[in-house]
Amino acid sequence: MKKSDVIQLIFHNKLPVEPAREKGLAFAPTNIALCKYWGKRDSELNLPMTGSLSIALPDKGALTSLMLHDNGCDVITLNGKELPGDSAFVLRTTQFLDLFRPERKWFLKIDINMNIPVAAGLASSAAGFASLVSALNDLFGWKLSRRELSILARLGSGSASRSLWTGFVEWHAGVQADGMDCYAEQLKDEWPGLMIGIVSVAEGEKPVSSREAMQRSVDTSTLYTAWPRKVARDLVILRQALHVKNFSLLGGTAESNALNMHATMISSWPPVCYFLPETIAMMHKVWDLRRSGLEIYFTQDAGPNLKLLFLENDKDKIFEHFPQVEMIQLFE
């Protein structure tokens, strides 16, 4: 099964090629996984080994606008800067667009604005591909459901399947070979007092991509066989924590899940370690504060930056100990 086969299943071989309006526009939030996606059962379709669960950062993400362009190639601008045609970002984007134009009869002027660092472990690709798919849906008038858009976004980046909603989102791993049962959906739970703090250690591009690190973990880590069992347990616990609003259970499970994911990377060969000295120092600071009685936890994706989990009542104390933190209210 190829990505092009999924496109045919979604559009029933009737993919619109004429735009419905002059410009397509869409915003997609980045998402922070509380139970991580790490490992694929199908690399072509980005089908995960396990399910995952995330929380969206409502005002952080990617805003993408699209217009038809008749210069014979796509022109991509990121945060006001036109990217060279041979850059990895442009090549990955155009390869994705080719799924929707097998004969390359049209090209686009693409303007992407992100208010998060790119390729630094803050799910920039998730927000980017989710906003691109949504903008295509707007430009061509596809009128697809959120579930269908989630499946299409997944073809660009697995975690992009979760970036079509705000709030808590669960991504179902599915079992079908074609991946049509592999999509995300928004959970009904809300938690007005829950906050995330972004502690930026490094904003540069990471030396090993998430995609490469993930495959290396699956192929070589002796710890990876335990990962699916860990995720299965954590998903059950996190759903229960959300239902009863048990912050200790939520934070502890998310932190444990992240550390287990990084353990598989470190035990891979060659090892993948996203920790920087500052990352480890902040981990110890969180643990020291928790021992002193402050309810604070962290999660970490494939990058050096930590995301702090805490409750709104403690935000002044958190700011006192982490004056550089960027605090995000998850639910208004």
Model confidence pLDDT, tens digit, residues 57-114: 998 999 999 999 888 889 999 999 999 988 988 999 999 999 998 778 889 999 999 9
pLDDT at 115 over 80: yes
> What is the residue range of 151's domain?
3-186
What pLDDT sits at residue 13? 77
**Residue of 294, 297, 292, 289 whose CA lies nearest to 199:** 297
CATH number for the domain including 215?
Answer: 3.30.70.890
Model confidence pLDDT, tens digit, residues 18-64: 889 999 999 999 999 999 999 999 999 999 999 999 999 998 999 99
What pLDDT sits at residue 121? 46
Model confidence pLDDT, tens digit, residues 290-326: 999 999 999 999 989 999 999 999 999 999 999 999 9
36 and 156 share one domain: yes
CA distances from 104 to 95, 99, 149 (A): 11, 10, 22
168 and 19 share one domain: yes
Instruction: With beta carbons less than 8 A apart as the criterion, state whether 297 and 290 touch.
Output: yes
175 and 244 share one domain: no
161 and 242 share one domain: no
41 and 180 share one domain: yes
29 and 118 share one domain: yes
Instruction: With beta carbons less than 8 A apart as the criterion, state whether 54 and 33 touch.
Output: yes
Last residue of a domain, one of 133, 159, 186: 186
Instruction: Return the higher-pLDDT residue of 310 and 209.
Output: 310
Report the pLDDT averaged over residues 265-276: 96
Last residue of a domain, one of 186, 210, 245: 186
pLDDT at 205 over 80: no
CATH number for the domain including 181?
Answer: 3.30.230.10
CA–CA separation, 110 and 194 (whole Å): 35
| pLDDT range class, residue 214, cuts 50, 70, 90 | very high
161 and 198 share one domain: no
210 and 268 share one domain: yes
What pLDDT sits at residue 185? 97
What pLDDT sits at residue 235? 98
| pLDDT range class, residue 117, cuts 50, 70, 90 | low
pLDDT at 206 over 90: no
pLDDT at 122 over 70: no
The total number of structural domains in the chain stands at 2
Q: What is the DSSP letter of 161?
A: G
**Cα 151 → chain centroid:** 14
Last residue of a domain, one of 186, 214, 243: 186
Q: What is the DSSP letter of 80?
A: T
pLDDT at 123 over 60: no
145 and 270 share one domain: no
What pLDDT sits at residue 120? 45
**Residue of 187, 179, 153 whose CA lies nearest to 48:** 179
CA–CA separation, 204 and 303 (whole Å): 10
Instruction: With beta carbons less than 8 A apart as the criterion, state whether 169 and 184 touch.
Output: yes
| pLDDT range class, residue 118, cuts 50, 70, 90 | low
208 and 267 share one domain: yes
319 and 221 share one domain: yes
In angstroms and rounded to an integer, the radius of gyration of the C-alpha atoms of the chain is 20
Q: How is residue 220 written in tokens?
A: 């070589």
What pLDDT sits at residue 207? 87
Average pLDDT of every residue of the chain: 94
50 and 71 share one domain: yes
